[in-house]
Structure 1
Amino acid sequence: MGLKEILVEKSEFLSTSQLAKLLKISRVAVLKRINRGAIIAVKVGPNFVIKKADIKDLLKNKVK
């Protein structure tokens, strides 16, 4: 089991796809927001994961 699986398994993080579904936007839109710094994410291998605690702030502030 790799680091990505360990992090996601503990349910402290969401994948970009999971966040896209939650925000009702595309995965590409999530990645664009990560690249411009609107969403804080951690790179794990070739993928990004987002802390659930940070997502609560996103939902309050509604990412633009």
Structure 2
Amino acid sequence: MQSTNHNHPVSSATQDKPNGSEKCSNCIQFIPGDTSDANGECKVVAGSISPQGWCTAFSPKS
């Protein structure tokens, strides 16, 4: 990974659907939107992030 700074996102393969049980809403990097279905943000990937998405930076919540 290159950086965890939001201004310098990691170059990660992303998709708009889960990878099995792994999805953005279950990742420690995900910053939720206003509702559980709303897009949020990510600490390492720039842009609007679907809570149902997934990327190679996925790291499960404890």
Question: Same fold by TM-score, threshold 0.5 exceeded?
Answer: no
TM-score between both structures, scaled by the size of structure 1: 0.30
TM-score between both structures, scaled by the size of structure 2: 0.31
Q: Larger helix proportion, structure 1 or 2?
A: 1
Q: Larger strand proportion, structure 1 or 2?
A: 1
Greater C-alpha Rg: 1
